[in-house]
Structure 1
Amino acid sequence: MTFNRRTFLGASAVVAAGLAAPMVRAQGKPRVVVIGGGAGGATAARYIAKDSKGEVDVTLIEPTRTYYTCFFSNLYLGGFKEMDDLGHTYGGLAAGGVNVVHDWAVGVDRDARTVSLAGGASLPYDKLILSPGIDFVDGAVEGWDLSAQNAMPHAYKGGSQTELLKAQLKAMPEGGTFAMVAPPNPYRCPPGPYERVSMVAHYLKANNPTAKIIVADPKAKFSKMALFQEGWNNHYSGMVDWIGEDFGGGNVSVDPAAMTVTIDGEETKVDVCNVIPAMKAGRIAELAGVTDGNWAPVNAADMSSKADPDIHVLGDASQQGDMPKSGFSANSQAKVCANAVRGALTGSKVFPAKFSNTCWSLIDADDGVKVGATYEATEEKIAKVDGFISQTGESSDVRKATYEESEGWYAGITADMFGASV
């Protein structure tokens, strides 16, 4: 399927149009609290408020007033986007009936069904939706922790870290070395680190053509591997040195003070080091007691937690089966969840769960590639039904069309998340 803003929003409208009219609860409005205002949480909040036509009280908890998407942030590093292009506010959601609270959720009392906020408030809920994104596993990369994120940025949460990495990239000396420590599976956006390598290479080719890129990777293979390696050979020949598991890519330590990376015992002085550590569910999921230590297991039919049927977990934080951790996945899961939650609270019709995902990546100007699939809910997990992927050797026209499709999707999903007025 080819995506643009109109087709993405049109598909959403078809889902919404099929929903039955809500049934008013005699005891007053049921209450839904959503934690996390990204692709999962913002979408779920918007759809529950919109489709219930005011019959459900929806509150979204999100600390930031401007949300910067992690997806498409690599294009900022490559010079294809400005930071303002990635920033979105919550006025459209508020206008659509969502009570938007800019605060940190710091606790969940599952017995009392309340959420505690850093500002001191306590919010009751009938259903709680968690979409907190990712946090990082302590000690995942020897020598690195969050106290080192200014010296060696992760830039895997959109915003200031992305700007910092771009500033470091621009300040690299002529002929300098950019290093990346890639994450182990599973992690947010499987092609993301390799699109980042491509965008860094694109910038360096134009501004610092004798610079080098080293990638230390604990994996033997990665998403779209053949496509990226073909693109690196075509566009950035000799610039990128990918060191996978078979060559010691998983045996890595860093020294942020000395700006060194040691790969399988060999120390290298670098000018910029992008450390992307192992990941886990955002902290509030752990505080709510719905994780297995890293991720939050959920039921595929409605994204409800296996630990608590009144809590649903979306997007990157969830352990759901075959879907990758991506913005598209979170948005797709949010619509299934919103339908199920509204049905449980108002008696409206609940449709069988179906999911989809596409991940686009830009390798060079007008050289876009993609991978995607459709999924269904089984008793065990969200299971892949079929899939597609770009092919090596595609024409420049096909690759340009793929990139343009990604631009249409970005416009569509952000409108779907935050409301058409954003």
Structure 2
Amino acid sequence: MALTRRALLGAGALSLLPVAAPAVLGRARARVVVVGGGAGGASVARALAADGAGALAVTVVEPRPAYTACFRSNLYLGGLVPFDSLVHAYDGLARAGVAVVPQAAGAIDRDRREVVLADGGRLAYDRLVLSPGIALDYDCVPGWSQAAEEIMPHAWTGGAQTRLLRRKFDAVPDGGVIVIIAPPNPYRCPPAPYERASLMAQRLKATGRGRAKIFIIDPKDKFSKQGLFQEGWEARYPGMIEWMAPDIADGLKSVDPKTGTVVTGFETYAHADLVNVIPAQSAGAIARAAGLADRSGWCPIDGGSMVSRMDPNVFILGDAAIAGDMPKSAFAANSQAHVAARAVRAGLTDRPAPEARYANICWSLIAADDAVKVGGVYVPANGRITEVERFISQTGEAADVRRAGVVEGERWSTGLAAEIFG
């Protein structure tokens, strides 16, 4: 979907949002404020507006003029889709009756049930839904920093970083060296670093740079879909991708952005042509500042509703939540959003919420015509989200099965964008 002009609220309308909701059945509409306009936040706002029976006034607080998806951004990096296909404006939310406030949320005043905006204004809420995404730990890699992300990009948030990594990748010469530093668990989209390496290798081959090498320095001793990826790398990119587990690399020791050097206990990669540092992560800063995260840095929730265990008036979903057996993915965030929307609606109206049930599928491309997937069905059990069904692609699958997976992933992405932003 191409970037279009965002539907913005006028200043006068913004000042009235907390108090100007029309009456339904003789009373003011209940106020739901959603912080974050990504896959989770936009999904819950759209669901509440569509299924609130006119009883809810829904407001999204989001400073960005459009949402730039991280999911499928590896396809842009690999030259398979244009950048504009990742960008989705908020006009569709506005047309659906959602008020979109183009500001950052500066803080959450839980005692007063208000969101404090960047300009000092306040939005009162009856229920708050937080989908703040992730925060990056800039101190987890010795030698790397927030300033260094302009030299050694992470591209783990959509937008400028995605474009920067693509520019640096396009400049890698034949015979060049790329180092991907993978993050520790848990992190956004577990298969993504390995899909990134796959699509980098494909583009390198397609552009006459097949002698380049990609080293993945990993703090984990295994990773999502490992057998599938390694089978694909051996068949399609022999000698191009080398995964360095902790017992092989002996741990990451430091990086030097000035020289492009990566030091492990096993080897020093001097003057690498591209270093992609994907750091450790935690829940978005606003959730942690509001006291909604535990010692892990992520936000505990009740698996039956996505309500925060720290505050019954706050729901947390998407990457920021401790979602039990569910991975941190856009599919999962959308599934959680529908559960949360029904729970919010039930708490503010007389409509009951059905029993929670979640789903997730993650498609990963090993090549343009080769997609593998993993997914599951989840239900609440003992307060957490528990997997009850699981499926995963198998090694040695036929080429037509893998091509069908590519189509499935494309249809899901198109359908999700239409559901939320269309």
Question: Is this a same-fold pair by TM over 0.5?
Answer: yes
**Structure 2 residue corresponding to 1:336, chosen from 324, 331, 339:** 339
Residue 147 of structure 1: aligned partner: 147
Q: Deviations over 1:31-57 (max 9, x none)?
A: 000001111100100111111133201
Matched, 1:287 2:289: yes
Q: Deviations over 1:290-346 (max 9, x none)?
A: 001410000011101100000010010001211000000000000000000011001
SS at match of 1:40: helix
Offset of residue 417 of structure 1: 1.8
Contact 1:361 1:368 in 2 (8 A): yes
Instruction: Give, as a single letter, the amino acid of the residue that structure 1 aligns with 2:190.
Output: P
Instruction: Give, as a single letter, the amino acid of the residue that structure 2 aligns with 1:197.
Output: A
Instruction: Give, as a single letter, the amino acid of the residue that structure 2 aligns with 1:190.
Output: P
Contact 2:248 2:266 in 1 (8 A): no
Matched, 1:385 2:388: yes
SS at match of 1:385: strand
Aligned length: 397
Offset of residue 78 of structure 1: 0.6
Contact 1:40 1:333 in 2 (8 A): yes
Contact 1:296 1:319 in 2 (8 A): yes
Matched, 1:316 2:319: yes
Aligned-residue RMSD, C-alpha: 1.2
Q: Deviations over 1:230-281 (max 9, x none)?
A: 1111111000111012113533311111110011152212010000001000
SS at match of 2:389: strand
Distance 1:70 1:94, change over 3 A: same
Matched, 1:248 2:270: no
Offset of residue 184 of structure 1: 0.5
Residue 369 of structure 1: aligned partner: 372
Contact 1:300 1:377 in 2 (8 A): yes
Distance 1:26 1:310, change over 3 A: farther
Task: Map 1:168-247 onto structure 2 (within 5 A).
Answer: 168-207=168-207, 208-247=209-248
Residue 72 of structure 2: aligned partner: 72
Structure 1 distance, partners of 2:289, 2:114, is: 13
Structure 2 distance, partners of 1:52, 1:71, is: 29
Contact 2:249 2:267 in 1 (8 A): no
TM-score of the pair, normalised by structure 1: 0.92
Contact 1:360 1:370 in 2 (8 A): yes
The percent of aligned pairs where both chains have the same amino acid is 51
Residue 8 of structure 2: aligned partner: none
Contact 2:114 2:123 in 1 (8 A): yes
Residue 106 of structure 2: aligned partner: 106
Instruction: Give, as a single letter, the amino acid of the residue that structure 1 aligns with 2:289.
Output: L
Distance 1:352 1:377, change over 3 A: same
Instruction: Give, as a single letter, the amino acid of the residue that structure 1 aligns with 2:415.
Output: G
Instruction: Give, as a single letter, the amino acid of the residue that structure 2 aligns with 1:307.
Output: M
Offset of residue 68 of structure 1: 0.8
Residue 276 of structure 1: aligned partner: 278
Structure 2 distance, partners of 1:416, 1:302, is: 21
Residue 397 of structure 1: aligned partner: 400
SS at match of 1:149: helix
Structure 2 distance, partners of 1:72, 1:265, is: 33
Contact 1:316 1:326 in 2 (8 A): yes
Structure 1 distance, partners of 2:395, 2:45, is: 40
Q: RCO higher in 1 or 2 (8 Å CA, sep ≥ 6)?
A: 1
Contact 1:219 1:249 in 2 (8 A): no
Instruction: Give, as a single letter, the amino acid of the residue that structure 2 aligns with 1:312.
Output: F
**Structure 2 residue corresponding to 1:412, chosen from 401, 407, 415:** 415
Distance 1:102 1:256, change over 3 A: same
Q: Deviations over 1:53-96 (max 9, x none)?
A: 33201000111111111000000011111000110011111000
SS at match of 1:308: coil
Task: Map 1:123-142 onto structure 2 (within 5 A).
Answer: 123-142=123-142
Offset of residue 24 of structure 1: 4.6
